[in-house]
Structure 1
Amino acid sequence: MPPRIPRRSSHYRFALLVTAGYAYEEACLGLAINPRTAERWRTRLRKQAAAYFGRTVTYEYAARVALDAELRHLCETVRGTPQPVTENPCRGNLHAR
Structure 2
Amino acid sequence: MGIILLLAVMATAFMGYVLPWGQMSFWGATVITNLLSAIPYIGTTLVEWIWGGFSVDKATLTRFFAFHFILPFIITALVLVHLLFLHETGSNNPTGLNSDADK
TM-score (norm 1): 0.37
Higher RCO, Cα 8 Å, sep 6+: 2
TM-score, normalization by structure 2: 0.36
Greater fraction helix: 2
